[in-house]
Amino acid sequence: RQCVGAAGGWSLAAAAAARSVLWPLPQQLDQSADRNSLSPQRFSFIYGRDSAAQTGCSVLDAAFKRYFSIIFPDFTKGSGLLMSENKSIRYTSVSSVTTVSAVSVKTRGCDGYPDEDSDESYNLSVSEGQAVLRSVTVWGALRGLESFSQLVYQDDYGSYFINKTEIVDFPRFAFRGLLLDTSRHYLPLHAILKTLDAMAYSKFNVFHWHIVDDPSFPYQSRTFPDLSNKGAFHPFTHVYTQSDVMRVIEHARMRGIRVVPEFDSPGHTLSWGKGQPNLLTPCYKGDVPSGSFGPVDPTVDTTYKFMESLLKEVKFVFPDSYVHLGGDEVSFACWQSNPNVRTFMEKMGFGKDFTKLESFYMESIMNMTAALNRTSIVWQDVFDYRERIPQDTVLEIWKGETYQAELSRMTQAGHRVLLSAPWYINHISYGQDWRNSYAVQPQNFSGTEEQKKLVIGGEVAMWGEYVDATNLNPRLWPRACAAAERLWSDEEKTLDADLAFPRLEKFRCELLRYWKYVCNHSLSTSASFQWHSAHSK
């Protein structure tokens, strides 16, 4: 694929080799120097004869189209041959050099949603004149199509090639997430959709939508429209309507990505209070209310009724079986100041221990969530307070330095864990900070093999304090790719960041092209410069 423009000084073959990119690295990869040419006019994706999925499979029909134009951008733009009125990509003019990429999926299911048990494995075999992609599910086929697209490259004259290749591939972790925060800054829909596209390119499979928080409540609720009417930055322009949310979920589904919403409480809820009176705890100054509000008031029934209605709606709107309930960073000062809360504490026998109060609240809403047949994810704080936690609750680690010890403790208690602490990539620093993300070893902590299996994956977090649509992409990409590879690929084969760097550099070019930029030579040279200077140290 044309990535670097004119490959000044390189031999054609070297340039071609360098242009072939696979990110994340497949589990088993065998590439040869047998180069086959591909002709857009004669190329087609077809369903294998033995495939359970056939024409009409929504996910794959759309993916064939999408990947055709990703693989042959010039062709798609130029001739318009592809985009005829018939949507299926199929050329009837069969000739002996037609490259057919046959996709065979073992199990049916094109209209469902990817979930925690989805089998994303695939095998891809590219030989002369044909490619065969085999997977168990359509989600695996999507991963394989992505790899296939990354194998295709263009020479300086614009001809397309793909080398003979054998791939056996599957993810190391089932949960490979990316968090966007749409409360601190509103992100327009297109920024979210573009992020989903880019996630698919590096095989992320969960979009953790931190949709509301203190600063704003952009989720337009059917049950409680005042939450966004009063709590969003703007009630019409800075909200996600029900149809926006549907669009995100469908766009994600088409790329094999789950959407896990987070409705973080009892802290991080200031914006909720604007549209839902009596939800938040009034803080007191001495004997009188100070006029400011603290976390959700855990002492009154109305709070639980409200949370139950909201969670019911969430279940209805978001098909994923997981919902993130937050539970982090609850400040106790306001609770402490409020006489009703203090009375409640006494009544419940919590003494002066406000962690018990938070426990009580979180346990109640985790119970509600379980009753709705949903699995809760909560931030590590909930575990740190030693609350009784339903065993199937997933705990997410976000606190920096001590994450290895936390991994040990949580898995020892039998909980499934997500690791996010080392991947807060909203933090930026000069130079190649992707190397820190890359060096993370999610299963390197003291514990048994059984404990290590409880690490179900991790998440890159892009918190929104200083991030909006103008700087989201450059902050996310390619930096998030480091975690994507760590979560997908074999760790033994990807320990060396120096070896990964040229591949990442090329993958960056690919990403730029998806955004309709051309990978600029001077940028590429400066990256190479860093690469060399890293070596000469």
Distances (CA, A) of 118 to 364, 396, 511: 30, 21, 26
Q: Which residues, other chains included, contact 472 with Cβ-Cβ below 8 Å and sequence gap of 6+?
A: 180, 187, 191, 195, 462
Binding status of residue 130 toward ligand NAG by CB under 6 A: no
The answer to the question of residue 168 lying near ligand NAG (CB under 6 A) is: yes
User: Using CB under 6 A as the criterion, what x/- string covers residues 34-73 for binding ligand NAG?
Assistant: -x-------------------x------------------
Question: CB-wise, 33 or 288, nearer to ligand NAG?
Answer: 33
Compute the least distance from the CB of residue 86 to ligand NAG, in Å: 4
Q: Of 159, 518, 525, 529, which lies in the binding site for ligand NAG, with binding defined by CB under 6 A?
A: 518
- Window 345 to 384, contacts with ligand NAG (CB under 6 A): 360, 363-364, 367, 373
Among 1, 3, 7, 16, binds ligand NAG (CB under 6 A): 16
Q: Which stretch binds ligand NAG (CB under 6 A): 30-38, 279-287, 295-303, 420-428?
A: 30-38
Prior bond of 261 cis (ω within 30°): no
CA gap 196, 103 in Å, rounded:
23
Residues 6+ apart with CB under 8 A from 209: 179, 180, 182, 248, 259, 260, 261, 262
Considering only residues 36, 99, 135, 276, which one is a binding residue for ligand NAG as defined by CB under 6 A?
Answer: 135
End-to-end CA separation in angstroms for the chain? 33
Q: Which of 51, 121, 149, 183 contacts ligand NAG by CB under 6 A?
A: 121
> Do residues 111 and 80 lie in contact, with contact meaning Cβ atoms separated by under 8 Å?
no
Handedness of CA 194, 316, 235, 184 (dihedral sign): negative
Comparing every residue's Cβ against ligand NAG, the nearest one is 17
Shortest distance, CB of residue 184 to ligand NAG, whole angstroms?
A: 31
The single residue listed with the structure tokens 């106790």 is 332
Residue count, binding to ligand NAG (CB under 6 A): 29
Residue from 128, 329, 346, 450 carrying the catalytic annotation? 329
33 forms part of the interface with ligand NAG (CB under 6 A):
yes
- Measured between alpha carbons, how far is 18 from 285 in angstroms, rounded to an integer? 66
Which of 535, 524, 514 minimizes the C-alpha distance to 15?
524
Judged by CB under 6 A, the stretch of 12-20, 59-67, 229-237, 525-533 that binds ligand NAG is 12-20
- Alpha carbons within 13 angstroms on the beta-carbon side of residue 96 total 0
DSSP label of 25? P
**Helix (H) or strand (E) segment spanning residue 397:** strand 394-397
Under 8 Å between Cβ of 133 and 123: yes
Stretch that binds ligand NAG, among 132-140, 200-208, 214-222, 268-276 (CB under 6 A): 132-140
Cβ atoms within 10 A of the Cβ of 22, count? 20
Strand 122-127 versus strand 130-135 pairing type? antiparallel
Among 37, 50, 74, 88, binds ligand NAG (CB under 6 A): 88
127 binds ligand NAG (CB under 6 A): no
Choice between 373 and 429, CB closer to ligand NAG:
373
Closest Cα to residue 142, out of 26, 259, 254, 50?
Answer: 254
Instruction: Mark the segment that binds ligand NAG (CB under 6 A) among 129-137, 209-217, 244-252, 428-436.
Output: 129-137
Contact call for residue 79 and ligand NAG (CB under 6 A): no
Q: Is 329 a catalytic residue?
A: yes
- Say if CB 528 and CB 499 are below 8 A apart: no
Q: How far is CA 174 from CA 150, 206, 453, 457, 467, in A?
A: 22, 9, 11, 6, 28
- Cβ of residue 441: shortest distance to ligand NAG, in angstroms? 6
Q: Spell out the alpha helix ranges (H) of 161-241.
A: 189-201, 226-231
* Residue 119 CB, nearest approach to ligand NAG (Å): 8
User: Which region among 15-23, 421-429, 446-454, 501-509 touches ligand NAG (by CB under 6 A)?
Assistant: 15-23
Closer residue to ligand NAG (CB): 55 or 448: 55
| Six-digit token string for 151 | 């194998």
Residue 444 in the binding site for ligand NAG (CB under 6 A): yes
* Cβ closest to ligand NAG, residue 120 vs residue 459: 120
Complex with ligand NAG: residue 121 or 276, whichever CB lies closer: 121
**From the DSSP assignment, how many helices (H) and strands (E) are in the chain?**
20, 17
86 lies in the site for ligand NAG, by CB under 6 A: yes
Nearer to ligand NAG, 333 or 518 (CB): 518
Q: Which of 138, 110, 108 is nearest to 122 (CA)?
A: 138
List residues binding ligand NAG (CB under 6 A): 5, 13, 16-17, 20, 31, 33, 35, 55, 86, 88, 121, 123, 134-136, 163, 168, 321, 360, 363-364, 367, 373, 441, 444, 518, 520, 522
Active site residue ranges: 329
